[in-house]
Chain A
């Protein structure tokens, strides 16, 4: 980015940061611009990268098959009116069917089989064995916690409680990393303001 573009980006960045003081018209402007610009960009992307190459170009070359998804897409817009909203069910059914079909084998192979196989591999010796035992205990107890078909009482309740402890440690780790992620973005914005806009720190 150069010149005017850097200035616009910097001013919009400051508009968003102004919310830290309190809600104000500059923030509201930037917020509304963000919503409109994001939706507009998304639409343009979908047109240029999906509808044009997959439908318009193909149909113009005599391939009429893409008219099927085009038809399904158009009837999805039927949801805008009460009288035609029922038509959209066909498109939703098609879309949901596809991703349900993909989910079954993909989850089975990558998330169930691969993870179960790893959970029961040989434990090793010494600390490795202790850690492997802890992982198995944690994994089984978390599964016990998520088993809601029976009340969490007796031995099940006790194991589920251990599961909660493991979950809390995992959530604590995730929280730590989330702070890091947000701070990273903040650092990048401050780097942009100080380096690209104000030239107070040396370039990359």
Chain B
């Protein structure tokens, strides 16, 4: 008997509004305990909630990006349960008229797996709870309410996922999409993105779904994948032994690499939902929704496609460069800067704006010749930029544990560096070292070059002098060369490079050395016999 896993995910995203969902307290992470609360988010007797319009707007933005339908009239409901981190002992959430419903998220194919289409059941707004701290060895717990009232967006998928790996990829794409919208930090470590999983096993050929377990305490996408893998195995074992899966909530214990049922009876809930009487209903006019739709940026998948067609990048490269919006923005800014740099230098007009690029890309059809010419020219530049950004620049980010926007390497500077390479002013090796210096000092390449005296040596006089010195120092190699041994020339070129601390232009070095050697040969009156 084979069983097919059926997986649905509930993701909570903390919105990055300046203030909480129902009061004006800041919603920043990391404030001193209970230093960011007011009567409203503390749920003191007599207080009332008022909805943060930005929270709704951000929620609509996400819903639109997920292809959802926006609820014409949405409302809030009270969800009751008792817990010390919930000041009112009910959470203001949404029950039957949520913000949005009927969306879809496409998870693109990878080398090993096909594309998955995951339907989004609903998206709704609710308030976050506080934090409980359990001190080791104490018989008490401590509560910090700073987090109560931070706006949360809950995104519920249909159970369309079939493997733990699909779940992992879904989460990556979802996080990426939300991150592109710039409405959340999406940081699981900081708790601004959380995930609960629902999983059941369906017997092959059966029409009804199996009993599902809910898994909580999943603090990373990897844990989600691991927990689901474990849970599938566990449920299979139960079913194969003729038993029944219990509908329950289980917690992932990463230390034991297993799920275990929750101990507390907190989760035998009757939430007693009813419409929140302190909040009025909200109706979004078509115009308002469209205004928000117009603020949607190009989404990750679309952008990756465009990078491939517009810049001639491989699917893999396009994927890497669009993995985060800031990275994609940076890449395109560098391409533009490089194009402008080249254009200005050659006296051509500057490359088109990113807006034009985007529109051309998404239009699909091939526009006029000038545009395709532009594309080819940009394509060449783009590949160079792509290599550098994906390679050395990202490596520097990792080494310094900062994100690209915080690296301190303006696109214009990278563009200038690439220009120097292209003109042969610096070697690839030199450029890599220069990059580090550029980030350390924030200086632009030309002035840095000037200051450090790192210009590639191209002066024929300098090179000739160095070549002569090399020849005098390595008479044996010279006579080998004169006897026709090509290897000797390579050796001598290497010595010249070393003598110039690697700053000689390799091609010139080769040329000059050859010329000097020929000269010497001529003076000596022809090749030795």
Same assembly = no
